[in-house]
Every structure is written in C-alpha cells, then in structure tokens.
Chain A
Amino acid sequence: MVSFIFKRILQSFLVLLVVGLVAFAMFRFVGDPIDNMLGQERTMEDIERLRTDLGLDQPFVVQYWKFLEQAAQGNFGLSYRQGRPVAEILLERLPATLELALISGILALIGGITLGIFTAIRRRGIAANIIMTVSLIGVSLPTFLIGIVLIYVFSVELGWLPSFGRGEVVEIGGWSTGFLTESGRKALILPAITLGLYQMTLIMRLVRTEMLEVLRMDYIRFARARGIRERTINFRHALKNTMVPVITITGLQLGSIIAFAIITETVFQWPGVGLLFINAIQFVDIPVMAAYLMLISVMFVGINLIVDLLYFAVDPRLRDEGRGGAT
C-alpha cells in the first residue's frame, strides 16, 4: 500500500513536470519575450542586457529549472495585457470560481445521487423513465445553451434573477465572498445550476447503473428473503456498495467542474479565473495562460491523488491486496 501511494505521488509530480514544461515552452517560444517587454525604441545593447537579465542566454534545462523555481513560489511575471503580476490577478479572481464550483458541486452531488437512487429503485415507473429521457437530452445540450435558456427564462422573461456578474461581495481577509449579501446569493443561483446540471446528469446515470448492478446481487436477494424492509435494503445494503465507483468519478468530475466553469463564467460574465483565461486566449496573454494552466493542473493532480487515496479508505479489499504485495 505504501508503495502504491508512493508511486501515485511520483506520477503526480511527473504530470506537473510535464505541464510545467508546456507552460515554460509557451513562455519561451510563443512570441519573443524580449519583443513583448521592450518597446519600439531599443538598441542591441538593451536586447543583450535584457537577455542576460532574464537568463535567456543560459541552456534550456537551466532556464526550465529556474522557471519551475519561480512558479513554485507563485511568480509568473507580469500580465502582458494588464501589466500587473499574474499571481495577484489570479488570487483576486480565484474566490469567485471556487465559490461557484463548490455550490454547483454540492448541487450535482445531492441531485445526482438522489435522482440516481430514485430511478434505480423505481426502474419501471413513469417518472423514472421521464427523468432518464430528459437526462439524455441534457447530455447532448451544450453547457452554454443551458445557461442561455436559464437567462432567457429567469432573467429576461420572469426578471427574478440577475443575468450577469456576482452581485455585491464582502471582503474577508482578502477573500471576496458573495455568500453574505442577498444580491450575491441571487447572482449565484443561475450559474451554479448551469455548471452543476451536466455533472448531475453524469452522476445520476452512474449511480443508477451501479445501483441496478448491486440490486441484482445475491446478498440483496438473500436480504429480501430474510424479510428485511425494502427501505433498509436499498439504503443500508445496496447504497453502500454503490458508493465506491461514485466517489472516484465524482472526484474526477470535480476537476472538470473547474474547467467547465470557463464556459459558465463567460455566459454569465462571472468574474472568476475562467473568464480571465478566455480573455487571455483572445489577447494572447501568455503569462496568464501559463499560470492558469499550472494552477488548474495542481488542482487536478491534487484531486486525483486524493481520490486514489480515498479509494483505499473506502474499499478494504484493495488494502488487503496491497498488503499481499499484489499492487
């Protein structure tokens, strides 16, 4: 088990190194950094001096190492477009994205698991069939269309909820939160639903498939034969065994929530890191793109690692195998 964890951590570092290489290559080869920093009026001396200052005359590997060193300290240089340190801009924008991801993640999890159990238990019911059909349409519906439909219904036609922005925010020690004001909470509803809906469908379908699989097993039949109440069987015996794959997939989905937030944030002009990233692509703001890439990969790799470890905690069979040296 220890060797498994060690291997996983090593792999995570490898992924980060590769992503770092991509980010570094973007800095170094997409556009000339010297061109970007010096204006039109420059002499050969200026160029040479800046080249030495930036360390561009050193071997590739040395430059890469320096870049990693700087990145680990959160230093990604200045945004080409805003002229401010990239780390500062990212930190300013991060709370908005994390709050949005958190709420839609909770929404997807609760909604997905509840609907999944429901459609599995009432497999032949009309309601379950309707839910399944709607979910198939939901998978084909691109995220941005869901957002537009919600805006049209709840902002344009009904006028209940705001269609863009975060509302009023309160600063608490550098973290700007929208949870504490009414306009902030109202502004969160539509983006959170947009972002969570797709993940909810995925989780629901997964829970349903797993649950159906488990309900077919012998020990469930045996429990029925013993006359245990249906409710106890469903929630005590079946649900527990459904949860293992659900945890894995859900954990991985958490990562894609942050990535899909890019789309939702653009639809709702939500001032998070995703919107920042899209603007950076439009204006070819390389430092912001590279920093966002690094930030998001640290999150992804971290989540994957935690999910793998959770897997161990949840499924005792894996632990035993690990002890036997099978991993």
Chain B
Amino acid sequence: MAETPLDLTSRPSRLRNFWDSDFMYAFCHAPVAMISFAGVVILILSALLAPLIAPYDPFNPASLNLMNGFTPPGEANAFTGDTFLLGTDDQGRDIFSTILYGMRISLFVGFSAVGLAMALGVLLGLVAGYVGGWVETLIMRIADIQLTFPSILVAMLIFGIAKGVTPAEYRDQMAIWVLILAIGLSEWVQFARVVRGTTMVEKNKEYVQAARLIGRRPGAIMLRHILPNVLSPVLVIATITLALAIIAEATLSFLGVGAPPTKPSLGTLIRIGQEFIFSGEWWILLFPALTLLALALSINLLGDWLRDALNPKLR
C-alpha cells in the first residue's frame, strides 16, 4: 500500500466515489438487499411503462368487450377466443393491464404522500430543533397528540373532512389528491421527531457556530448546513414510510374511502376482486393482492437493510 504514490491531482468522479464506497460494498454483499432492490426497480419500471407494456388499455371503453368477462388466466374465452395472461374481470378488462395501471396510482399516491410528509416533517423538525422555545413546544405537542392516534385513523378522518368540504361533483376527481393529503399529513410526525433530535445535536457543533459567526441567516443555516447532515436517517424513514403509505392507500381504497372505481389503485382492485371469491373467480383478487404484497415486502426489506447499513444507531 505504502509504495503506491498518492495521486493528488485527479479526483475520482462522484459516481466512481459512490461505487467504491462502503455503502456499495455492503449492498453487494447482502443478497436480500439486492433482490428486494431489484424487485422495487422492476415494479416501479413496469408501473411507469404501463402504457407500453400493458396489452390493453383498461380505461378505454372502446377496447372492452363484455363477452370477455370472467375469462380465467391463460385460457381462451369461450365466446371470443381471446386469451389473457392473468384473466379478465367482470367487465372483460384484462387483469394484467389493470394491475399495471393500478400500481401506477398506488405508487403515485405513495411517493407523493411520502414527499409531502417528508417536506412537512423535515421543515417542522428543523425549525423545532433549531429555534427551540415555545415554537418547539407547540410543534412537538401537536406531534405528540397526533401520535396518540394510529395514522390510518388520522388519514381516514382527514379524508372524511376533505370529502365533506369538496362539492359532490368534484369528489371523484379530487379523491387521489385528497388521499395524498390525508396520508401525507398522517405520517409527518416520525420525520419531525427524528430531524428535531438530530438538529439539536448538530446545532451545537462547530460548523454551525462558524456559519453563525460569519453572519449567515438562520434559514440558510438550517437548509444549507444542517439539512445535509440530517438526511441519512430521513432517507431510512422515507423508505419505511413509503411501504406504510402504499399499504395505507390500499387499505383506504379497499374500505371504499380512497381511489374511485374509475381510477382503481391496487386497493380498489382488491376490493372489486373480493366480491368474486364466493363465485370462484379467484384470479380477479389473487393477482392484485400478490402485486401489493410483493411491492410492500420488497420496500420493507430494502428499508430494513438501509436502516442497518446507514445508521446502526437507529436499530
């Protein structure tokens, strides 16, 4: 090692840096992490590319044929002779296509809700931790009160109130946005608590004192100096919250207080499928349910691994 001369002139690129990091080493030696990461990537890609992959457009009434209804997976329909990879539902919609489009909505709601929760939680956590005083007391008290209630209940309540406020004719269009708002507002507390804790530690360190001395404003110190240093626990919580948000969305939609049947998410599809388990059309339920399970499980496993890899203290 000592013989190789130090090369101080050329710095490795960022990508190279990342590739050589401990993080990547740990990743390449954890089969569970690689498999779950591959699962997440495949699922997200197939949702993004749904219009290209899906053999049918389930929301175009012109492409539907009621005669195709209840076709079992992989078999030819008795009337039309069409075959469908995962079968069709009662209206003759291809299950494979509805799952791809449904996953789009589930993922869109999940990511947006986590984004909202993260923005809100990180901001409030930074302010609470940095400013302190009555601002901190107020924010953390609200967080405590909200934490008394399970987040799914909070989301239901916000959904109910928002539904009452929006005029009846807009309810179906607004449903997706209301869902994002409801889930986002129900999950911000974890972010705020962790960011506040880390901020309180960081704000007494020398670099923050130095920034203060050269006269940077509090807003700039929080966003430019402290924020980058509290991001790794935030990333972990974001991953775990993503799984929670996707499950919450599916649950709300399943209960009929989420995505409308005109824009079905995975939860709505499971709700529809549940009606047919007594009559023997199991595939309408099974495939959306398996997709949801695969999605939630791979994100959860990835989050678990990320937590251990990034921050052993959080265990």
Using a CB–CB cutoff of 8 Å, the interface residues on chain A facing chain B are: 14-15, 18-19, 22, 26, 30-31, 136-137, 139-145, 148, 151-152, 156, 163, 255-256, 259-260, 262-263, 266-267, 277-278, 280-282, 284, 286, 289, 293, 296-297, 300-301, 304
A284-B164, A300-B148, A300-B149 known; A145 vs B289 contact (CB < 8 Å): yes
- Contact of A256 (CB < 8 Å), options: B150, B164, B165: B150
Report the separation of the CA atoms of residues A69 and B157 in the bound assembly, to the nearest whole angstrom: 23
| Minimum distance in angstroms from B210 CB to a CB of chain A | 36
Using a CB–CB cutoff of 8 Å, the interface residues on chain B facing chain A are: 145, 148-150, 152-153, 156-157, 159-161, 163-165, 243, 247, 250-251, 254-257, 270, 274, 277-278, 282, 285, 289, 292-293, 296-297, 300-301
Q: For residue B243, which residue of chain A has the nearest CB?
A: A140
A15 partner residues in chain B, CB cutoff 8 A: 145, 148
| Minimum distance in angstroms from A263 CB to a CB of chain B | 6
* A263-B293 in contact (CB<8A): no
| Minimum distance in angstroms from A155 CB to a CB of chain B | 8
* A144-B254 in contact (CB<8A): yes
| Minimum distance in angstroms from B305 CB to a CB of chain A | 12
Q: For residue B163, which residue of chain A has the nearest CB?
A: A284
Report the separation of the CA atoms of residues A183 and B1 in the bound assembly, to the nearest whole angstrom: 77
A19 partner residues in chain B, CB cutoff 8 A: 145
B247 partner residues in chain A, CB cutoff 8 A: 140, 142
Report the separation of the CA atoms of residues A100 and B250 in the bound assembly, to the nearest whole angstrom: 23
Q: For residue A256, which residue of chain B has the nearest CB?
A: B150
A289 partner residues in chain B, CB cutoff 8 A: 157, 160
B254 partner residues in chain A, CB cutoff 8 A: 142, 144, 263, 266
Q: Which 7 A-B pairs have the closest CB atoms?
A: A30-B164, A281-B160, A140-B297, A259-B150, A259-B153, A256-B150, A140-B296
* A137-B297 in contact (CB<8A): yes
Report the separation of the CA atoms of residues A145 and B286 in the bound assembly, to the nearest whole angstrom: 10
Report the separation of the CA atoms of residues A70 and B228 in the bound assembly, to the nearest whole angstrom: 50
A15-B148, A140-B297, A300-B149 known; A280 vs B277 contact (CB < 8 Å): no
